[in-house]
Structure 1
Amino acid sequence: MTCSLLGNSANAASPLVFKAGNLSINPYGILDLSLQGGKFTDDHPGHTMVSDGNLQASRIGLKIDYALGNSGYGIRAFGERGLVLRNIWRTGYNEGRISTNRGYGAGVTGPFGSVDMGSLYMPIYWVFLDSDVAMYGLSNMASIMSLEHTTTLGKSGTGGFYDTTVRYRTPEVHGFSSELGYSYGNSSIENGPDQNRTSGFNLRYRDGDTRLGYGFNQHDSAPSLTTGELYRQNTHVLSGTVRLGGVLWGANYVYSERDTDVRWFASAQMVNARITFGPGDITLGVSHRIEAEGARAWATHAGYLYSLNTNTQLYTYVSHIENNADSGQGFALLSESYPSVPKGYDPWAMTAGIRWGF
């Protein structure tokens, strides 16, 4: 099982690889389904539903590698398509049952590192993901990721794949590596040639459980498709992990600002931990966000993950967001219908599910 072929792989078991000479083909996938309940907003009753992707987004993917003899150089192609499992048997959902919010690309590898082109994550993403010690990242720490992933970073941060992207990765030397990325965006006549241009870089150090990193991202965007007023958003991320005794700790700090007429900024801090307990792991986390115009929010998370084997995990967790009178942060990653709530409302959610990878 390979977690992502569009960047770093993590928690890999024996991969499913077909080889013929210098050619290798690696299909892979993740299926994640759960039962989820909670009170997501105050003007609708609490409810329980079948959901998917609550530990890790469901997907299918393919990676193809071709080695150029014994030169150390090679070429590769890769791609992922998202799955919506709760609607896989139905028609008419988003014009189909397979979403297209994943990435793809092709590139060249060698002693120099690698160069790829396609729809890719920007370099800041991997620094951000390094700070999550709960094994898989993103939606498993739903409350914390809602704070940092959605509101704080927006389009300029880790919020998805960027079209028409070129990236370069250095080889890892004594634990140090770096990455540069540039997206040409999808500019329109109304907004000019710089619409959605994005660039960034990262610096990372990895040595076992110890990780340190810094990432920077610059994104140009317009408030709407009908105005030519562009703004530039700059985002900085610092992250790190360390093992102290039997506890693996991770933390990050995020700061993001836009050069609009009315100054907008947001910052967030997150600390999380993974503790081996019995046959599985306890995961705990807390995050705090400060945003312009007085918005403040706290988020907490507690969960348990049990591995049946290297590819199959059972999980459960509960998450809570506490908003002040000026903040309306909702569970954007757990409930697409309620990414925001009335200001001052405190949503909560809990889920139990199973994740299987191949």
Structure 2
Amino acid sequence: MNNNKQRVLCFTLLASAFALPAHAQPIVWKTGNLSINPYGILDLNVQTGDFSNRAPAHTMVSDGNLQASRFGVKLDYALGDSGYALQAFGERGLVLRRLWKGGQVSTNRGYGAGVSGPFGSVAMGSLYMPIYWVFLDSDVALYGLSNMAAIMSLEHTTTLGKSGTGGFYDTTVRYRSPEVNGFSTEVGYSYGNSSIEHGPNQNRSSGFNVRYRNGFTKLGYGYNHHDSAPTETSSELYNQTTHVVSGNYQWGGVIWGANYVYSKRDTEARWFASAKMVNARIVLDEHNDLTFGLSHRIEAQGARAWAAHAGYIYSFNPNTQLYTYVSHINNNPHSTQGFSLLSEDYPSVAAGYDPWAGTLGIRWSF
């Protein structure tokens, strides 16, 4: 066994060992009116598949295939008995597979500070845009997004583009209303990281959502507008608007979720994309869940793609899960969609190529 394989095996065993004594309750330290809540996720897995036409089918160690690994701290300072509080958080992403590749393993995910009270909450920092939460509501699996990598990557990478739902947006100001009879709304504006060179309106985003939540029943609409800025690979400037409608409903022992996304840019080519997704979670008992998903994307220039997913999750407790699933993407002759959320190495494939993947992993949180 070479050194790389030894490091992989040792780290996987360590993660498994730490996972077993997981605590069901979050860690909260209190001193006076200040509450400190550290939290984190470790997710390691082995995945195999035919990821790209550029490489033969192979097996590799990866991470974040159920939920992205991270570490963060939340602070809450109560302002007496007024119902108001000051809040702050900071979160770093952990790319565990880079430990044995010698790369950077810590990446910024987001940070922010604000105040909450009977009016709702106001925050500023590097935050999600409001459309994100509508998109997330359509995922009925336990943790969101990456465990349906094939399904979500169809919508996330191209359909949503730079105005997409995932990721934190720099210099963002957000207002979130209180929930009244299950209804709430959120408004956000991101100044982005624009410079004078690109103009004051470039790389900025704005949007809002309206959501209804009642147990497993969720309905929502989200809107986002993004002004692009030049990049190292493109000098094109455009405005992109994105609409997301999502729903979530429990029928018997099955929880259903679905969304529809439409996005367009005001370029000369009139780029657009739309996608729809439906997924289901079958709750067998308190430990066992089955998940299924299907998604379809239509894009400008005739690109069409389908993705399918089937998975199984075994929960030792609320903090520790073993999971396995398989995913497949079908591209027509104009589509190049790869597993962008499963593996950062193969986000695209040759036009018409159909990748597939399977994974077995463990997730632990605190």
Q: TM-score, normalised by structure 2?
A: 0.91
**1:123 corresponds to 2:130:** yes
Residue correspondence of structure 1 range 3-14 to structure 2 within 5 A: 13-14=24-25
Once residues 318 and 225 of structure 1 are traced to their aligned partners in structure 2, the CA distance between those partners, rounded to angstroms, is: 35
2:95 maps to what in 1? 84
Question: 1:314 maps to which residue?
Answer: 322
Match of 1:150 in 2: 157
Does the aligned pair in 2 maintain the 1:90–1:97 contact within 8 Å?
no
What count of residue pairs does the alignment treat as equivalent? Answer: 343
Greater Cα offset, 216-225 or 247-256: 216-225
**Match for residue 9 of structure 2?**
none
Would you say 1:19 and 2:26 are equivalent positions?
A: no
The Cα offsets for residues 198-231 of structure 1, whole Å up to 9 and x where unpaired, read as 0000000000010000000000003535876521
Match of 2:20 in 1: none
Amino acid at match of 1:19: K
**Cross-structure match for 1:221:** 228
User: Which residue does 1:3 correspond to in 2?
Assistant: none
1:60 equivalenced with 2:60 (yes/no): no
Deviations 1:149-208 (A, max 9, x none): 111101102131000000000000000000000001111233211111100000000000
What letter is aligned with 2:260? Y
Q: Does 1:283 align with 2:294?
A: no
Partner of 1:108: 115
Cα displacement (A) at 1:43: 2.7
**Distance change >3 Å, CA 137–CA 24, structure 1 → 2:** same
Equivalent residues of 2:198, 2:230 under 8 A apart: no
Match runs of 1:1-358 below 5 Å: 13-88=24-99, 91=102, 93=103, 96-100=104-108, 102-225=109-232, 229-277=236-284, 279-358=287-366
**Matched residue type, 1:346:** D
SS at match of 2:196: coil
When normalised by structure 1's length, the TM-score is 0.93
Contact kept, 8 Å, 1:150 with 1:159, in 2: the verdict is: no
Measured against aligned partners, the alpha-carbon deviations of 1:308-338 in whole angstroms (never above 9, x if no partner) come to 1111000000000000011111111112121
Compute the displacement of 1:47 (Å).
1.0
Unaligned ranges ≥5, structure 2? 1-22
Runs of 4+ residues over 6 Å off in structure 1: none
Aligned counterpart, 1:4: none
Q: Distance in 1 between matches of 2:233 and 2:196?
A: 10
What is the deviation of 1:262? 0.8
Classify 1:13/1:217 alpha carbon distance in 2 versus 1 (closer, same or farther; 3 Å). Answer: farther
2:340 aligns to what SS in structure 1? Answer: coil
Report the Cα distance in structure 1 between the residues aligned to 2:200 and 2:248, rounded to whole angstroms: 39
* Two-structure CA RMSD over aligned residues (Å): 1.4
Q: The residue matched to 1:190 in structure 2 has which SS? A: helix
What SS class does the counterpart of residue 201 from structure 2 fall into? coil
Unpaired segments ≥5 residues, structure 1: 1-11
| Alpha-carbon distance, 1:20 to partner | 1.2
Partner deviation per Cα, 1:112-152 (whole Å, 9 max, x = no partner): 00000000000000000000001111110010111011111
Question: In structure 2, how many angstroms separate the alpha carbons of the residues matched to 1:291 and 1:230?
Answer: 19
- State, as a whole percentage, how many aligned pairs show the same letter: 74
Shift of residue 274 of structure 1? 0.3
Q: Match of 2:244, SS? A: strand
CA distance in 2, matches of 1:318, 1:255: 27
More helix per residue: 2
